Amino acid sequence: MSAIDIIAADKVYANGVRALDPITLSVREGEFATIVGPSGCGKSTLLRIVAGLLAPSSGRLLLCSGADAEATHDRRTAFVFQSPTLMTWADVEKNVRLPLDLGHAGDASHADERVSRALALVGLQDFRRAYPRELSGGMQMRASIARALVTEPSLLLMDEPFAALDEITRARLDRELSALWSREALTVLFVTHSVYEAVFLSTRVLVMSSRPGRIVGEVTIADACPRGDEFRVSAAFAGYCARVSALLVAAMEPQREGAA
C-alpha cells in the first residue's frame, strides 16, 4: 500500500528556474526511502512538495493510498528540517508540545502522555525543562525529531537532519533513527548528501540527477533492520555504497561535462 504517490510532478519557480523535471514516485507504507543527489538537484524541493510547503507546477500528489493530500497533510505528515528550528524562548517540553498546541495535529486530549512518550523515544525525558541553548547540537536535533513524533505521524519527512553534526554524533543518531523506524512502523522519506548514511538507514535509495532533478536510479537495501555498526563494516554495505556512488557519479556526468 502506498504512503506517497507522486505522479508526474514538476516544479518551475517564478524566476523561470526549473527545479524538477516531471517525477513519478511511490513510497510504500513502512518504507524508509532516501533521496541522494548532487547539491541543488531539487531533493529538498521534492520533499517540500510532499510536505505541502510547495505546490508542484504540474502533476499530482497523493498521500495515504489515494487520500487527498490537502486533507491529510497536517495530521499525517511530520517534517524534520536541516536545522533543529526550535523555539529558543521555550523549553524542550513546550517545543515538543507545539504541534499539539496548534490544535491541528489530531487528538490532543492526551497531550502530556504523548509529549512524554515522544521525549522518551529520543532519550530526552530528563531534559524537558532545558532550553535549546542548553543542549548540544545532537540533542537539539533529537528534540526536533521528538516534536515530529509527538503527532504520531504516519509519514516522516527528514531534510538532511544530521548534516551539521560531527561524524560520531551523526552515526549515533543514525542508529537511533533506524531503531525508532523499526519500532514505530513509520514511513520515512529522508534526504541526505551522504551515500553511507543513505545506505545505512534505508530500505531503498533513490538517486536524483543534477538540476532539473529527476530520479535516475534506485538501489534496494535488503538487509534486516534495525541495523547496527556491524552493518557499516560489512561487505554488503560496501557493495551497496559502491552501487549508489556509481549511480550518483553517472547522475552528475552531464554537470561535469558542462563544467568542463
Nearest to 181 by CA among 209, 211, 148: 148
Q: Site for other proteins (CB under 8 A): which residue of 87, 120, 246, 249?
A: 87
Q: Site for other proteins (CB under 8 A): which residue of 17, 24, 55, 101?
A: 101
- With beta carbons less than 8 A apart as the criterion, state whether 210 and 198 touch: no
**Binding window for other proteins (CB under 8 A); candidates: 2-10, 11-19, 77-85, 203-211:** 77-85
Note the Cα 30 to chain centre separation in Å: 13
Note the Cα 80 to chain centre separation in Å: 7
Note the Cα 98 to chain centre separation in Å: 20
Q: Site for other proteins (CB under 8 A): which residue of 133, 168, 235, 259?
A: 133
Closest distance to other proteins from the beta carbon of 129 (Å): 11
State how far the Cα of 199 lies from the Cα of 92, in Å rounded to an integer.
Answer: 31
Q: Site for other proteins (CB under 8 A): which residue of 52, 59, 137, 217?
A: 52
Q: Site for other proteins (CB under 8 A): which residue of 38, 42, 56, 132?
A: 132
Considering the rule CB under 8 A, would residue 131 count as an interface residue with other proteins? yes
Q: Site for other proteins (CB under 8 A): which residue of 98, 108, 111, 225?
A: 98
Closest distance to other proteins from the beta carbon of 142 (Å): 16
**Binding window for other proteins (CB under 8 A); candidates: 75-83, 160-168, 178-186, 229-237:** 75-83
- Burial classification of residue 77, based on how many CB atoms lie within 10 Å of its CB (0-12 exposed, 13-18 middle, 19 or more buried): buried
**Binding window for other proteins (CB under 8 A); candidates: 3-11, 12-20, 49-57, 184-192:** 49-57
HSE-up (13 A, CA, CB side) for residue 66: 1
Question: What separation in angstroms does the CA of 260 have from each of 17, 46, 211, 253, 257?
Answer: 22, 28, 17, 11, 5
Residue ranges in contact with other proteins by CB under 8 A: 48, 51-53, 73-74, 77, 79, 81-83, 85, 87-90, 98-99, 101-102, 104-105, 131-133
